[in-house]
Amino acid sequence: MVSTANWKGLNPVPKPRDPNRRVHQKGLPQPSRSTNGQSTKPATAQRGKRRTDAADPDAITLTTVHRTIIAADIEGFGRHSRNNTNQVRIRHGMYRAMQQAFEAVGIPWHSCRREDRGDGVLVLASAEVSKALFVDDLPIVLVDELTRHNKSHPPAERIRLKLALHAGEVNYDQHGVTGSSITHTFRLVDADVLKSALTESSAVLAIISSAWFFEEVVRHSEGSCSRSYRQAEVANKETTARAWIRLVRSPRRV
């Protein structure tokens, strides 16, 4: 005969079921409970979901203004005959010549936005500055300043400058400036047709005007020497456009 103690060990009496206890199948995610006792979704359910209340990093509000655009580029800046010291002196000479020429003709240099390009500079002038100043007086005064620099420096440090003129809408952001008008200006100053024109001449300054700038500014100004410009076709990367080129020599060769 089996004792009561042994019998209970073989066939335990089941405990009463807790009506508040929830039973889940093995292997399924278990809900978590918040501090107020309410069931919440599994943490994995939130993975990969974009927060709708967070600021959109791709949201952009353009800050756009109209500017006169000048791109300057030094001819043959990186040629092998020029060492680092030569290049620094050339850069100083370019900046000195441009600043003095701008100020002399009434273009406030220090109020212009400037971005260095290593072998040149991008200059943005306010819309309040008369565009005629860039084609009437600036070319001759700038050539005078470049000639003064060249007279006091050896051949490896002499400057011949390419200058592109355009105007249009410019976008500002925390990194600098951009816009199709700026891209177009650099396509002009880098055009092969401008390089060839300067290389094949004795000029100190080669100016290339966009078609818009020529039609709206150059040809309407009596002091611009508009007849000294010749029409050219520019094909540079994705840009195919008409432009106008003027070569300006130093006074002693006029």
Q: Terminal CA-to-CA distance of the chain, rounded, Å?
A: 136
**Torsions phi, psi of 66, nearest 5?**
-90, 135
In this predicted structure, the answer to whether residue 219 has a pLDDT above a threshold of 50 is: yes
Instruction: Classify strands 113-116 and 120-126 as parallel, antiparallel or unpaired.
Output: antiparallel
pLDDT number for residue 250: 86
- Encode pLDDT of 131-156 as tens digits: 999 999 999 999 999 999 999 999 99
Q: What's phi and psi for 128, nearest 5 deg?
A: -75, -20
The predicted pLDDT at position 56 comes to 79
Q: What is the mean pLDDT of residues 225-235?
A: 95
How confident is the prediction for the chain on average, in pLDDT? 84
Q: Is residue 207 very low, low, confident or very high in pLDDT (cuts 50, 70, 90)?
A: very high
Residue 169 has pLDDT above 60, yes or no: yes
- Rg over alpha carbons for the chain, rounded to the nearest Å, is 36
What is d(CA 217, CA 168) in angstroms, rounded to the nearest whole number?
13
User: In terms of DSSP H, where are the helices of the chain?
Assistant: 4-10, 84-104, 133-136, 138-151, 180-189, 192-199, 211-216
What is the distance between the alpha carbons of residues 225 and 215, in angstroms, rounded to a whole number?
Answer: 13
- pLDDT above 60: residue 209: yes
pLDDT for res 136: 96
